[in-house]
């Protein structure tokens, strides 16, 4: 992972930076891949920003862009239980007992 971070930092150092400058699609993909692995390891957003030499807000913005668009969902016949709505994530987490606003908030936070 350290080698990938050094390679990515070198690529970032070699590009012209500044407000309004866009990251290439390939560079965004590389950043997203490294960030995803670091987040899976439990690294904070600020820790990732420091490791890559980028502002935390930029790292989050670049990775949030990956989540834009359509996401595959499955619609169940029964969406409500006696205790409220149930949300099941693709990775298998299950949250029960939510009202509509709580479920919407959870989904926004997970996206």
Q: Provide the pLDDT for residue 71.
A: 64
Whole-number pLDDT of residue 24: 83
In terms of Cβ atoms closer than 10 Å to its own Cβ (0-12, 13-18, 19+), residue 35 is buried
- What percent of the chain is modeled with pLDDT above 70? 82
Q: Is 9's pLDDT higher than 60?
A: yes
pLDDT in tens, 73-86: 777 766 555 667 78
pTM exceeds 0.75, yes or no: no
- Tell which phi-psi region holds residue 50, choosing left (phi > 0), alpha (psi between -120 and 50) or beta: alpha
The structural domains of the chain, with segments of one domain joined by +, span 2-67, 80-110
Tell me the CATH class for 2-67.
mainly alpha
Residues 6+ apart with CB under 8 A from 110: 89
């Amino acid at each position: 992972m350290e080698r990938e971070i050094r390679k990515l930092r070198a690529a970032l150092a070699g590009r012209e930076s500044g407000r309004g400058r866009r990251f290439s699609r390939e560079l965004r993909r590389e950043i997203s891949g490294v960030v995803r692995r670091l987040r899976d390891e439990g690294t904070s957003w600020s820790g990732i920003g420091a490791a890559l030499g980028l502002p935390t807000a930029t790292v989050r913005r670049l990775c949030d862009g990956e989540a834009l668009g359509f996401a595959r969902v499955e619609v169940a016949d029964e969406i409500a239980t006696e205790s409220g709505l149930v949300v099941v994530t693709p990775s298998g987490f299950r949250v029960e007992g939510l009202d509509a606003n709580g479920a919407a908030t959870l989904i926004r936070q997970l996206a």
